[in-house]
Amino acid sequence: MIHRGFVLIATLVLAGPFPARAQEAALPSVPQSLSLDAAVRLAGRFNPAYRQAVTDRGPARWGVRNAYAQFLPSLSASGGVGYSGPGSQTFLSQQFTQPSSTISSSYSLGLSWQFSGSTLMQPGLKKAQLNAAEAVTSSTLVNLRSQVSQQYLAVLQANEQVGLAEAQLKRSEEASRLARARFDVGQGTMLDVRQAEVNQGQAQVGLLQARNNVTVQKLRLFQLLGVPAPEDPSVVTLSDSFPIVAPQWRLDTLLTQAASENPDLNSLKARESAARAGERAAKSSWFPSLFFSAGWSGFTQQYTNSAFLVTSAQAQADADYQACLVQNRLNALAGFQINCGLYQFTAAQADQIRAQNSVFPFNFTKQPFSARLSVSLPIFDQFSRPMQVAQASATTDDAREQVRARELQVRADVSQAFYGLQTAFQTVSIQQNNRTAGQEQLRLATERYRVGSGTFFELLDAQLVAQRAESDYVTAVYDYHKSIAALESAVGRPLR
C-alpha cells in the first residue's frame, strides 16, 4: 500500500500541470487587397509588441490562482535510495566495523499550511494586478489600431502623390512638345526647349521618388502588422477609401467618452487600484501569522550479504547452546535440566533472518507521525514594516497623481484633436478652391504660350503653382483623415 501511494505521489509531482508554451503561429502572407479592418486584425494577431502585452497576462492570471491557492495546504513528497560499502571507521576512541555493504531507501510526505494577513490580502492584490495587465493589453490594442490607421493613411497619401507625379510628368511632357514645336516654327528659343527638358527630367525623378515612397510606406505598414512583406510590395493594394464629411461630434460628449474609455487612462486607474491593494497588503503584515506542519516518513536498510547475518546469528546460537550445556552440568547437582535444544540454530531461523533483511526498496519501516502548530506576532522588527507601509502608501499617492495628470492630458489631447479636426476640415475646402484656381491658371498660361502671347517661364510658374496646389490639397485631405484617427486615439474608441 505504501509502495503504491509513493508511486502515485511521485507520478503526480512529475506529471503536474505545467503551462505548455504556446505554439508559434505561422505568419500569413498579406492579401493582395487589404482593407483597414483586415490590417487591424492582422496587427492584433501578429504585432510583436501587442503579442508581448497579451503574453504578460498569463503570469497575472496564474498570480490570482496562486493567491487563492495560498488558503490551501501545500503537499510535498520526497524519496531516495542510498548505498554504503563495507569497512571500518573511528569515532573518538571507538572503532566501528561494518562487515557488509548496505542499501537503503526512504520516503517522506510533508504537509504545511500558513495563514496571515498577507494571505488574506493577496487575492485582492493579484486581481488588481490582473486588471492592470488587462488594461495594458487593451491600451496596447487601441494604440496599435491608431498606429495602423495612421500608416494605412500614409500609404494612401503616398499613392495619391504618385498620381500627382504622373500628372506633373504628363504636363511637363506636353510643355516640352509645345516648346519644341514653337522652336521649330521660329517662335520659341532653345532656352525654352532646354528648360522644358530639364523640367521633364525633374518630373521623372519626382515620379520615381513618389513610387519609392509608396514602397517604403507599405514596408512600414507590413512591419507594423508584424507580417513579412512580399517580394514585390506593389502587388498589395489598399482597398479602403475615406469620404470627407463635416464633423458632427460634440466636444463635451467626446470628453465624457474619453474619461471612461481612454485605454491609457484606464490602465493608470487599474495600476492605482493595484497600488491601493498593495498598500493594504503591506499593512496586513502587522497581523499575526499561523503556521501548521505535519510529516510522515519511513526507511529501509538491507545488507547486501545476508549470509553475514545468518553466520552471525548461528555463531551466537552455538555460543548460547554451549553455555546451556555448561549450565546443565551445574544444574544436575540440583536435580533439574534446561532444554538446550531451544538454542540450536535451525534452517527456519536462517530463512527468517534472510526474509527480515529483504526490505529494499519498498518494505518501509514507518517513523512516528509528527505535527507542529505555531503562532507568531510581530512586535519590533527595526521599523521594516513601517518602512514597507510608507513605501506602499507613497506608491499609491504617486499612482493617484499619475491618474490625475493623465486625465488632464486626455482632456487636452481630445480638445486639441477636436479643434485640429475642425481646422483640417476647413482647410480641405480652401485647398480645393486653391487647386481649382491653380488648374485654371495653368490652363490659361498654356493657351497664352501656345498662341504666343505668354512666355515659357509664365507657363513654368503656372505649372509649379498648380502642382503645389494639388499637393497641398492631397495633404489637407489626409491631414483631415489623420486628425480623425488622432481624435479616435485620444478618445479611445473608433468614431466612424
CA–CA separation, 75 and 368 (whole Å): 18
Beta strands 370-376 and 289-303 are antiparallel
CA–CA separation, 325 and 342 (whole Å): 12
Q: pLDDT per residue over 374-403, tens digit each?
A: 998 888 878 888 898 899 899 999 999 999
CA–CA separation, 119 and 399 (whole Å): 24
> Concatenated DSSP letters for 126-143?
HHHHHHHHHHHHHHHHHH
Beta strands 94-98 and 87-91 are antiparallel
| 418-432 burial code (b ≥16 CB/10 A, e <16) | bebbeebbebbeebe
C-alpha separations of 83 from 30, 80, 301, 363 in Å = 64, 11, 9, 17
| Residue spans per domain, the chain | 31-82+117-302+359-491, 303-358
- Identify which of 420, 390, 433 has the alpha carbon closest to the alpha carbon of residue 480: 420
H/E segment holding residue 41: helix 36-46
- The pLDDT value given to residue 159: 92
Place of cell 493577496: 122
For residue 260, how many C-alpha atoms fall within 13 Å in the half-sphere facing its CB? 5
Q: pLDDT per residue over 182-223, tens digit each?
A: 788 877 788 888 888 888 899 899 999 999 999 999 999 999
- The pLDDT value given to residue 27: 55
Homologous superfamily (CATH) of 31-82+117-302+359-491 is Outer membrane efflux proteins (OEP) (1.20.1600.10)
Residues of the chain with pLDDT under 70: 1-29, 91-92
Place of cell 493567491: 67
